[in-house]
Structure 1
């Protein structure tokens, strides 16, 4: 069911982004700026082309920096990426990003780090992964980071052979890439060398502050046994701190796995600017920890909005966990001492507990800070009258 919903969402969004459903002034070409960069690679001894997609807000500021996604398989991948990212960005569940779409010349040579001797595939192909990674990290990355406003949250993403390379890049350049998204990674190549190397790498890492996304569809032999062994190995050797999501989409063929997976991959990679209850562990200190991680992803200093903290308090009131609720409301006031809604939140918590005098004290503080034009003013008055009646 999840696979069908995810696939449907992506297909619909992709259709909307490329069809007449958008007005003329909202076409992709006008919403984004695309810059084609041509460079001659000394490492590869050939000319290479990449398409750099800049966010819609890029020219609104001269100092804002963006995360960067290095996307294998070129600009043809941008339609699906943009549709999904825009849906998340509309809810502030993902930041705007710079995308570097790397065009192909020889996928089998570049994406596989080992030469294939498995008769299930083209024997003698591959083995250029190390050179291609050097091209990205020593030639392409300096060009991007010198010319465009990116910060150090880098993602590498690819499908099939590109998925193999994304995992390889994370293993070899762990300090450069914070996340790898691998859709239906063809880990059967070279008798499962990539799958074995991935497990061996994780065994050697007691701590890994990275995100890895893996997915697979209705793959059979020779792919599935190698993939399943890799997944079992990751489960058994997952380093502390590593966020890993693996999803299976039964009935979805190899060439549609990217479409089926992209929403989930991004949704779970990027942290929302709004901390929700399912991501809150119940400890007040985890709020600032969460926003430290959000800030690291987005390259800007973000803190918890007042209403986010208050909503967490409401959640715990609903759970009748008044101790945690009151702690959150009091923390909210400590962070926002001049905001009337924060005091009203605490008043609500005390009212639900039957602590009417404490509730009245705090709603009076809310009324003192607000005037009649404030959206919550009438709510505060109603609470005050209700509490006075209870106390009488």
Structure 2
């Protein structure tokens, strides 16, 4: 059983539900010692009694706009041809919870990742009809955390979508390489992108570093795509990269289905 409370969470920002498809939960975190909110947005026509299963997109909402942008992209996928029926789970952002770097920051990042593993994902799988497509998406500092999650706990997710990751001077990409080299049977899809405008040049070395790691160390079961989005600045990569990442992941999944005859 999971502790689902109605008390307030000590987040910097809280999603404001706006329609009947949204439900807001506070899930107790033994790692943080406080409830942590997650807002679930269901696709139109979701039927808990059906045999259908749904992909899950997990991300951090750091302001209302970031949540709305993400929901807009997901709604487009759910309504489009060959829809994939994605459940959107938006975690409130808590200050310092996704930073990677010094000892204290990494301790907080570990607690956040443990909360996702021990409480958030089990709760969502128990409460909703989630299939094997669990996608973790991050942008900027949250993209750096998504890379950290990939290095630490790659088995938690079926795909990682990293857009315009924040600059990082830690050994994060060395950790990704070590993880890939130690897990020859790993199966996951990794998408990462960068824009070409504004201060995206400051993030380009991080993009190139992850690309090099994937080129040199990814085992056969790790599919990946690196993309430079022409004409996009840092803000543009939020939605453009998410659209492209989801498309690339589902395309790769369908190709595997055609080859193997089963998901």
**By the TM > 0.5 criterion, same fold?**
yes
1:193 is aligned, of 151, 158, 171, to 171
Tell me what 2:201 maps to.
220
Q: CA deviation at 1:76?
A: 4.1
Q: Aligned ranges for residues 1-392 of structure 1 at < 5 Å?
A: 29=18, 33-59=21-47, 61-73=49-61, 76-106=65-95, 109-115=96-102, 127-186=107-166, 188-189=167-168, 191-218=169-196, 219-221=200-202, 223-271=203-251, 287=258, 289=260, 291-293=261-263
CA contact (8 A) 1:37 1:49 kept: yes
Local SS of the residue matching 1:292: coil
- Map of 1:315 onto structure 2: none
CA deviations over 1:149-207 (Å, ceiling 9, x no partner): 22332111111111122122233222221111111112x32x24222222232233334
Contact 2:194 2:237 in 1 (8 A): yes
Higher-Rg structure is 1
The structure with higher relative contact order (CA 8 Å, sep 6+) is 2
Could you tell me how far apart the structure 2 residues matched to 1:143 and 1:207 are? 27
2:29–2:115 Cα contact (<8 Å) kept: yes
Quote the Cα distance in structure 1 between the aligned partners of 2:259 and 2:213.
Answer: 33
Q: Distance in 1 between matches of 2:46 and 2:59?
A: 19
Q: State the distance in 1 between where 2:100 and 2:135 align.
A: 19
Distance in 2 between residues matched to 1:272 and 1:55, nearest whole Å = 22
Residues 272 and 41 of structure 1: is their aligned pair in 2 closer, same or farther, counting only changes over 3 Å?
A: closer
The answer (yes or no) to whether the contact 1:157–1:163 under 8 Å persists in 2 is yes
Q: Which has the higher helix share?
A: 1
Aligned to 2:8: none
Show structure 1 runs of 5+ residues with no match: 1-27, 117-123, 281-285, 294-392
> 2:137·2:242 contact (CA, 8 Å) conserved in 1?
no
- For residues 109 and 149 of structure 2, the distance between their equivalents in structure 1, rounded to whole angstroms, comes to 9
Q: Say what the alpha-carbon RMSD is for the aligned residues.
A: 2.8
- Give CA deviations for 1:255-298 in whole Å, capped at 9, x if unaligned: 2211221221111111499x7xxx59xxxxx8462x523xxxxx
The CA deviation at 1:99 is 1.2
Task: Quote the Cα distance in structure 1 between the aligned partners of 2:51 and 2:134.
Answer: 18
Deviations 1:309-345 (A, max 9, x none): xxxxxxxxxxxxxxxxxxxxxxxxxxxxxxxxxxxxx
SS in structure 2 of the partner of residue 111 of structure 1: coil
CA distance in 1, matches of 2:36, 2:48: 30
Cα pair distance change 1:115/1:43, threshold 3 Å: same
Contact 1:93 1:270 in 2 (8 A): no
How many residue pairs match? The answer is 243
Between the aligned partners of 1:288 and 1:91, the Cα distance in structure 2 is 24
Whole-angstrom CA distance in 2 between matches of 1:76 and 1:156: 19
Deviation of 1:125 after TM superposition, in Å, equals 5.1
**How far is 1:217 from its partner?**
1.7
Separation (CA, whole Å) in 1 of partners of 2:230 and 2:131: 37
Q: Is the 8 A contact 2:193 2:207 kept in 1?
A: no
Distance 2:155 2:216 in 1: 23
1: CA distance, partners of 2:189 / 2:163: 14
**1:58-115 deviation per Cα after TM superposition (whole angstroms, max 9, x unaligned):** 1374443212111122564343334334444444434101111001121xx2213432
Q: Is the 8 A contact 1:113 1:130 kept in 2?
A: no
